[in-house]
Amino acid sequence: MAEKNDYIKNSFWALLEKAARIISGILVGVLVARYLGKDQFGLISYALSVLAIFTVISTLGLDGLVVRELITRPDKKYEIMGTAFSLRFLGSFVVILLASTYSYFRDTDEQFWIVVIVSISIFFQSWSVIDFYFQSQVKGRFIAINQVITLLISAIVKLVFIYINAPVQWFAAMAVFEAMLTMFNQLIFYKRQGEFTRNWFFTKSEAKILFISASPIILSIFMQMLYQKSDQILILRYLRDIGLVGQYAAAIRISEASFFIPVALSAALLPGIIKNRDNEELQLKRLTQIFSLMIWSALIISIGGLIFGDWVIQLLYKDKFDLAPAIFKIHIWITIPVFLGTAWGSWLLAINKLKILTIFQALVLPIAIGLEMYCIPRWGVFGAAKAIVSAFYISIIFMFTLYKPKLVTGLFIAALNPRNIVEIFTYWKENRKAE
């Protein structure tokens, strides 16, 4: 019972951290966007999109994998963490070099320097392996507290920047500041647990194990980032207007605000899914409940966005981003396939079916890029939103057919029953009373 309570608490802390990030992103992020305007906001959004595509070389798809390995091989924790850190540390330099080189040959001087500035943040993110340790120990509160502290300080600094009329480069540098602050907090919390980074060590054998295990994930994440972030890059390439990138980025910033829900739940519940993989009946029951929670919450968010989209965007951005409301009401419908895909991907990771994820991304990538290249020249930023949403709904077909189609279809049909939501809350109440 204590272990179940830990998973519930971990889910709560994960949701708290993501909620704080979204609240900060909406409240402070919107003020920053309004201050910078569509052109300068587009600059930063474009730079972050370029960086996101190359980031996989640094992260190496190790996030969920390291958590899984720390759970299944706790006696090797220092070797696993030391090796994962070394791989990410070396990869960060490659990311900075590649992102900067790409921008140098393709972009203006101003765009190039913004890309260089934001890419430096990847170096400090190498220490995020500490978060993987906390996830494996079901101690999400340390991750949440760290992020809340970082977000609070970052929000204050950004507000000061707005007050003193700081240039766009200062806001780009906030990515580096936030990564540094997060790193220092991670080291402090890790030390308070009686753990020390000096115990970490690198071994070639562990690097080989991690790299072989992660190789399908690396390719999968790279393809995923390529079609998820290419929309803003292609908008600039086809439409030649950084302001339109800003308009598009402002809209999807709000529509993607709810993405913290599946990410937080998956990160918090992944240890439990992994530990229950030998109990197929219990695992399927939990998966059905998670899928149900994802489906119904995504439906509510999508319908709510369609009804209140104009009012919300107008309230947040005023008249600074006149195209954002229409873009938002198209892009908000991506919520349903994103929520489902996150749950489905976590399940495949738990049962070690990573090659299925790679095949999935390989099928979605050409469809997404092809749709974007067709739609953006014809319908501009609205075409970009239509293309990525269409690609994600097509991807649902692959979810149902790539791995155990009968099982996945049955899981989806069972998840449509709202009784699952009632069972989740009943389970939560019972565990609260047991504390």
- Integer Cα distance of 426 and 424 in angstroms: 5
Q: Where are the domains of the chain?
A: 2-434
- Integer Cα distance of 104 and 257 in angstroms: 31
Under 8 Å between Cβ of 68 and 90:
no
Amino acid at 320: K
How confident is the model at residue 211, as a pLDDT? 82
How confident is the model at residue 293, as a pLDDT? 82
Q: DSSP secondary structure string, 245-306? A: HHHHHHHHHHHTGGGHHHHHHHHHHHHHHHHTTT-HHHHHHHHHHHHHHHHHHHHHHHHHHH
Q: DSSP secondary structure string, 26-59? A: HHHHHHHHHHHHHHHHHHHHHHHHHHHHHTHHHH
- Sole residue written with tokens 């994802």: 294
How confident is the model at residue 389, as a pLDDT? 95
- Integer Cα distance of 412 and 391 in angstroms: 20
How confident is the model at residue 240, as a pLDDT? 87
- pTM above 0.85? no
pLDDT truncated to tens, each residue of the chain (435 aa)? Answer: 444 455 555 556 666 666 677 777 777 888 999 999 999 999 999 999 889 888 877 877 777 778 878 888 888 888 989 998 998 899 899 999 999 999 999 889 999 999 999 999 999 988 888 888 887 776 767 777 888 888 889 999 999 999 999 999 999 999 999 999 999 988 988 888 888 888 998 999 888 888 887 777 778 778 888 888 889 999 999 998 999 999 999 999 888 888 877 776 666 666 666 666 666 677 777 778 788 888 888 999 999 999 998 898 888 888 889 899 999 999 999 999 999 888 888 778 777 787 888 888 889 999 999 999 999 999 999 999 999 999 999 998 888 888 888 888 888 888 888 787 777 666 555 555 554
How confident is the model at residue 224, as a pLDDT? 81
Q: Enter the tokens of residue 186.
A: 């991670």
126: which DSSP letter? G
Residue 276: name the closest of 175, 201, 346, 329 by CA.
Answer: 346
Neighbouring residues of 47: CB distance < 8 A, sequence distance ≥ 6: 103, 111, 114, 115, 117, 118, 119, 172
Under 8 Å between Cβ of 328 and 255:
yes
How far, CA to CA in Å, does 243 sit from each of 232, 260, 356?
11, 27, 38
How confident is the model at residue 3, as a pLDDT? 47
